[in-house]
A and B are shown apart, each in its own frame.
Chain A
C-alpha cells in the first residue's frame, strides 16, 4: 500500500498545456477520483502516475520514493482500463492467476492468492468455470480479480465502467466501493461522471482545462464549491445561479436580487468591484407565498421520492427539489425562500467563491 505524492506536475504536448502546475497527495488507502469533461487533463495525469507518459516538469513520489522517471513496470501499480477483457479459453482460476504466472510466482503461492482474491470478490463458487459462460457481473469481478491478485501498491483506473449501461454501472459502482473498503488499496480513478465520483471517492479533484479547480471530499465539494465551474459540474440538477443587483462588501449579511433582500452567510473578504452571483442548490430552495424573490412555474418533473420544480425568475431559471406531493400549475407565481446557511456567493469575473462565515476556508488552487 502506498501514498502518492504529486509535486508541481506539469505536462505540455507541444504548445498545448494538458496539465498546469498541480500538486496533491493521495494518502495511503485513499480513493481519489479525477473528475472532469474530456480534455481536462485527467487521463494525462493518471498516465503520468502510471509511467505511461513523462511529465514536462514536476515530481511523482510513490511511498516517498521519486518514481518520476521510472518505467511503468517498475512502479508496482495496476492499471485497469476496462474491466471486460478476459482470456476466453481459460477458466476463472487461470484468468485470475495469469499475472502471477507471468511473474513466475510458485504454483502453491498462486493457488493461495487466487483463492484469497476470489474470497474477497465473493466468486469462490465459480473458480473452475469457463469464463465464456459467465454473466456480465461475474465477468467484471473476474477482471477485477486479475488486477488485485498482484497486490500492487496502488490501482489506477481509467473510466473502467464507461461502456456499461446505467443499471449495471450502478451495481459495479457499489461493488468497487465495497471492495475498496475491504482491501484499502490506494486508488486513483478517472471519470467524467460526477455521480460515480461522488459515490465512490474519499477525495475528488475536479479538473477543467488542465487545472485542478478544487480538491476535497465529496461533501466539501458539493457544499462549498470553490468555483462556479465546480458548482455547475457537480449536482443533478446543478447549483442555481442568480445574479445580484448590487455589489458585495466585506461584512455583508444580505444581498439584493431585484426587490428582494436575501440573507446570506456573512462575507469575510473584500470582494472588490464587479458582478456577483448567488449560488443555491435545488434542495435549499423552498416555496413561501410571501417571499420577495418571485417567479413563475415553468415545469415540474416528478421523480417519485421528490420532484424538481423549475421556476422562471427575472434573472433566469431556478430549480427547486421539493416533496412529491406538492402540486403546481404551470405559470403560477410563486415565492422562493432560500436556506440562508447553505448559500454560496461567487464573483462572476473570476468565477471564484467568496469566503463567507459558513465556509471561510474555501481553497483556491
Chain B
C-alpha cells in the first residue's frame, strides 16, 4: 500500500475540460470517495490514475514516484468497474486466483491457495469457491469481482461505482463489508460515486467534484456540518437542506451579508403554537418513509422538509411554530459564512 498524489492534474476531451487542475493526496491506508453527478470528472480521474488516459497537465505520483510515463500494467493499481466482468468459464476459485497466476508474480501454489481462501472469506464467498461464476447472483458476482481486485495487494484500489448495479439491500450490506475489509487490509482506496450515502458511510474523506473541479475535501462530518458553499450543502443530507431567505423564519443573530440560510432538519425546532397567533407555519402533509418520517411544512409560500418523530401526532393542516437554531449562513457568492 502507498500514498497516491495528484498534482495539477488536467484533462480535456476536445474543448470540454473533464478534470481541471486537480490536487489531491490519498494517504497510505486511506479511503477517499469522490462524490459528484454524471459528468463531474470522477471516472476520468480514476482513468488518469490507472493510466488509461494521459493527462494534458500535471502528474500522478504513486509512492513518491511520477508514473506519468508508465503503462497501466506497470502502475500497480487495481480497478473495479461498475459492471462486474468475471471469466464465465472459470470457477469462483479460479477467478480469484487468476491475477496471482500472472508470470510476473511467481507465487507458489500454496501461497496462491492461502491468499484466495483468505480473500474469499473476507468477501464472504468462501462457500461458493467451486461454483461456476455464471451460477452466482448479482451480489455474489460483484463480491467475486471485488475479491479479485483485493487478492493482488496493489498500491491503490480504484473503484468506479462498483455497487450501483445492485439492489438496495445488497448495496447496504456490501457498503459495510467493503469498509470493514479496507480497514482490515489497510488498503489505500479511491472510490467514485454519485450516491451520497455511499460517500458518507464509507469515506475517511469525501471530495466533492463538480464540473471537473474539486470544490471541497474533508471528513464526512466536516462536509456535512461545514459545507464550503450551497452546492456542497445541497449534495449531502436526507431530507435535503432547506434553503430560506433571511427573515422568513425566526433566528437569533444572522451574520452580516447573509443572502441565504441553510436549515437542515436538526437546525429547526418545531412546536405547537401556544396561542393561535404564534403559528407562522402549517403542516402540508406527513410522509411516512418508514425509517424516516418527513414533515412537510409551508411558511409564507416557502416549503420545508424536516424529519419527524412518527409518534409526534402532527397532522396535515396543523398550525405549527418554527424557529431556527444554529443554521448555516451563505453569502452573496454562495459561500458559507462561518456561524456564531
Task: Please state if A222 and B288 are interface contacts (CB–CB under 8 Å).
Answer: yes
Task: Please state if B291 and A235 are interface contacts (CB–CB under 8 Å).
Answer: yes
Q: Does A295 contact B (CB under 8 A)?
A: no
| B residues 154-183 touching A (CB-CB < 8 Å) | 168-169, 172, 175-176, 179-180, 183
Residues of chain A within 8 A (CB-CB) of B200 are 301-304
Task: Please state if B285 and A181 are interface contacts (CB–CB under 8 Å).
Answer: yes
Task: Please state if A298 and B180 are interface contacts (CB–CB under 8 Å).
Answer: yes
B interface footprint on A292-311 (CB within 8 Å = 1, 0 otherwise):
00000011011111001010
Q: A222-B290, A236-B291 are in contact. Are A304 and B264 (CB under 8 A)?
A: yes
| Chain A to chain B: the 9 pairs with minimum beta-carbon distance, closest first | A301-B201, A218-B288, A235-B290, A304-B224, A222-B290, A299-B176, A304-B237, A199-B287, A198-B289
Say which residue of B197, B224, B264, B290 sits within 8 Å of A218 (CB atoms): B290
Residues of chain A within 8 A (CB-CB) of B220 are 302, 304
Q: Does A219 contact B (CB under 8 A)?
A: yes
Task: Please state if B237 and A305 are interface contacts (CB–CB under 8 Å).
Answer: yes
Total residues of chain B contacting the partner, CB 8 A: 30
Other than A283-B291, A302-B221, give 20 A-B pairs with Cβ distance below 8 A: A166-B195, A177-B285, A195-B289, A195-B290, A198-B290, A199-B287, A199-B288, A218-B290, A222-B290, A236-B172, A236-B291, A302-B220, A304-B200, A304-B220, A304-B224, A304-B238, A304-B264, A305-B238, A321-B291, A324-B221
B interface footprint on A188-218 (CB within 8 Å = 1, 0 otherwise):
0000001100110000000000000000011
Task: Please state if B285 and A198 are interface contacts (CB–CB under 8 Å).
Answer: no
Q: Does A119 contact B (CB under 8 A)?
A: no
Q: Does A51 contact B (CB under 8 A)?
A: no
CB of A265, distance to nearest CB on chain B (Å): 15
Residues of chain A within 8 A (CB-CB) of B269 are none
Q: Does B130 contact A (CB under 8 A)?
A: no
Say which residue of B180, B237, B266, B310 sits within 8 Å of A299 (CB atoms): B180
Task: Please state if B289 and A199 are interface contacts (CB–CB under 8 Å).
Answer: yes
CB of B21, distance to nearest CB on chain A (Å): 27
CB of A358, distance to nearest CB on chain B (Å): 13
Q: Does A282 contact B (CB under 8 A)?
A: yes
Per the bound structure, the CA–CA distance linking A304 and B172 in Å amounts to: 16
Residue of chain B at shortest CB distance from A299: B176
Per the bound structure, the CA–CA distance linking A217 and B310 in Å amounts to: 13
CB of A267, distance to nearest CB on chain B (Å): 23
Q: A181-B285, A330-B183 are in contact. Are A301 and B175 (CB under 8 A)?
A: yes
Task: Please state if A236 and B307 are interface contacts (CB–CB under 8 Å).
Answer: no
Task: Please state if B291 and A282 are interface contacts (CB–CB under 8 Å).
Answer: yes
Task: Please state if A303 and B197 are interface contacts (CB–CB under 8 Å).
Answer: yes
Residues of chain A within 8 A (CB-CB) of B172 are 236-237
A-side interface mostly: mixed
* 7 intermolecular pairs with C-beta atoms under 8 Å apart: A219-B310, A222-B310, A237-B172, A282-B291, A303-B200, A303-B201, A308-B201
Per the bound structure, the CA–CA distance linking A363 and B310 in Å amounts to: 22
Per the bound structure, the CA–CA distance linking A303 and B198 in Å amounts to: 10
Name which of A177, A223, A304 has the most chain B CB atoms within 10 A of its CB: A304
Task: Please state if B238 and A303 are interface contacts (CB–CB under 8 Å).
Answer: yes
Per the bound structure, the CA–CA distance linking A299 and B175 in Å amounts to: 10
Q: Does B187 contact A (CB under 8 A)?
A: no
Per the bound structure, the CA–CA distance linking A195 and B291 in Å amounts to: 9
Task: Please state if B197 and A234 are interface contacts (CB–CB under 8 Å).
Answer: no
Per the bound structure, the CA–CA distance linking A235 and B291 in Å amounts to: 5
CB of B8, distance to nearest CB on chain A (Å): 31
Residues of chain A within 8 A (CB-CB) of B180 are 298-299
Residues of chain B within 8 A (CB-CB) of A152 are none
Residue of chain B at shortest CB distance from A232: B169
Q: Does B265 contact A (CB under 8 A)?
A: yes
Task: Please state if A298 and B289 are interface contacts (CB–CB under 8 Å).
Answer: no
Per the bound structure, the CA–CA distance linking A303 and B220 in Å amounts to: 9
Residues of chain B within 8 A (CB-CB) of A304 are 200, 220, 224, 236-238, 264
Task: Please state if A236 and B175 are interface contacts (CB–CB under 8 Å).
Answer: no
Residues of chain A within 8 A (CB-CB) of B264 are 304-305
Residue of chain A at shortest CB distance from B201: A301
CB of A3, distance to nearest CB on chain B (Å): 22
| A residues 229-257 touching B (CB-CB < 8 Å) | 234-238
Task: Please state if A310 and B237 are interface contacts (CB–CB under 8 Å).
Answer: no
Name which of A217, A222, A302 has the most chain B CB atoms within 10 A of its CB: A302
Per the bound structure, the CA–CA distance linking A330 and B238 in Å amounts to: 25
Residues of chain B within 8 A (CB-CB) of A298 are 176, 180
Residues of chain A within 8 A (CB-CB) of B221 are 302, 324
CB of A178, distance to nearest CB on chain B (Å): 8
Q: A301-B201, A304-B236 are in contact. Are A237 and B183 (CB under 8 A)?
A: no
Per the bound structure, the CA–CA distance linking A166 and B171 in Å amounts to: 15
Residues of chain A within 8 A (CB-CB) of B169 are 238
Per the bound structure, the CA–CA distance linking A103 and B121 in Å amounts to: 64
Name which of B172, B287, B289, B290 has the most chain A CB atoms within 10 A of its CB: B290
CB of A316, distance to nearest CB on chain B (Å): 13
Residue of chain A at shortest CB distance from B177: A299
Per the bound structure, the CA–CA distance linking A357 and B204 in Å amounts to: 45
Task: Please state if A237 and B288 are interface contacts (CB–CB under 8 Å).
Answer: no
CB of B266, distance to nearest CB on chain A (Å): 6
Per the bound structure, the CA–CA distance linking A287 and B289 in Å amounts to: 24
Per the bound structure, the CA–CA distance linking A234 and B83 in Å amounts to: 28
| B residues 205-264 touching A (CB-CB < 8 Å) | 220-221, 224, 236-238, 264
Per the bound structure, the CA–CA distance linking A236 and B167 in Å amounts to: 12
Residue of chain B at shortest CB distance from A220: B288
Residues of chain A within 8 A (CB-CB) of B176 are 298-299, 301, 310
Residues of chain A within 8 A (CB-CB) of B179 are 299
Per the bound structure, the CA–CA distance linking A244 and B317 in Å amounts to: 44
Residue of chain A at shortest CB distance from B305: A174
B interface footprint on A147-170 (CB within 8 Å = 1, 0 otherwise):
000000000000000000010000
Per the bound structure, the CA–CA distance linking A310 and B180 in Å amounts to: 12
Q: A301-B175, A330-B183 are in contact. Are A234 and B237 (CB under 8 A)?
A: no
Residue of chain B at shortest CB distance from A307: B201
| B residues 93-108 touching A (CB-CB < 8 Å) | none
Task: Please state if B237 and A236 are interface contacts (CB–CB under 8 Å).
Answer: no
CB of B317, distance to nearest CB on chain A (Å): 11
